Structure 1
Amino acid sequence: MTAAQADLRIDRPKVADGAAFWRIAKESGTLDLNSAYSYLLWCRDFAGTSAVARTADGEAVGFVTGFLRPDRPGTLLVWQVAVDPAHRGRGLAARMLDGLTARLAAEHGLTSVETTITPGNTASERLFTSYAARHGARVEREVLFGTDLFPDGPHDPEVLYRIGPLTHPPRTTD
């Protein structure tokens, strides 16, 4: 871990982080941007199943939003993962995802992770397939929402990635 990585801490989000989440999502260039209001609600109502990366001075520079599926409480659905452009390429997204799922495994008995990825989003595909490998888990893929289900114009299909069962802690490559 570099000194810059060591200066970042993974934490639970606070309502005040909602504006930063919105900004980081907007600057990502790949995420569907939700309303600023939704990020504020997310930081209030789903803080326990989400994570924020903070600099030493408390600035939010990355986030993972997720929730435990009501019909599968051992499954975390990861909604969005984003890192501020100035902090990309340092493994921060993987670190946030590992930290969040370790916390949820201890608190809720987490056994699997789900997310959706649009075809061609290679950064997300790499993030989640490497996550599965670190956790000794299988990855199953299927189209969850086809293009015809989106009412607001052309949208790529959303492919569901099911990752599990997880091993905790993650395997290291040393």
Structure 2
Amino acid sequence: MAVNTWHHQTQATVLGKLEATSAGLSEEEVSRRRATYGPNCLPEPAGRSLLLRLLLQFHNLLIYVLLGSALVTAVLGHLVDTLVILAVVMVNAVIGVIQEGKAQCHCPEAANHRNPGLGLGDLYRQDRHPDPQRNECDGCCLRRQHSVGGRPGL
């Protein structure tokens, strides 16, 4: 079975297979394709559970040093020092979970480290007005370019 390697084909070949033109898709064609195939977007990623967010607060070099210090003070019999160090670690974890929860509520894209992309219907439109909610601008017949330095270009 042959694999579609779109990047190895010419522009004319790809546009022919997609039944598109270099001028873009009309609004009617975009509507028809959305009705047939659905929206051209990725599914929302699953959020992290509360337990996972709490456990990830302990994945830090400074926390490892503090936990090691708590172990040493416990072995030496300094119970008060051990409890203070463990309390600091726990307070740090609780604050981290609260801050991460607030970040997910206020800005889900930043909390999930997502960058909303543009779909085919958004890249090749010729006769519609821009939609600011989808980060479109005037003259939104855009073309993707190869990424430069790890950053995608438009």
TM-score (norm 1): 0.21
Greater RCO between the two (CA within 8 Å, min separation 6)? Answer: 2
User: Considering only CA atoms, is the larger Rg found in Structure 1 or Structure 2?
Assistant: 2
- Normalised by the length of structure 2, the TM-score is 0.22
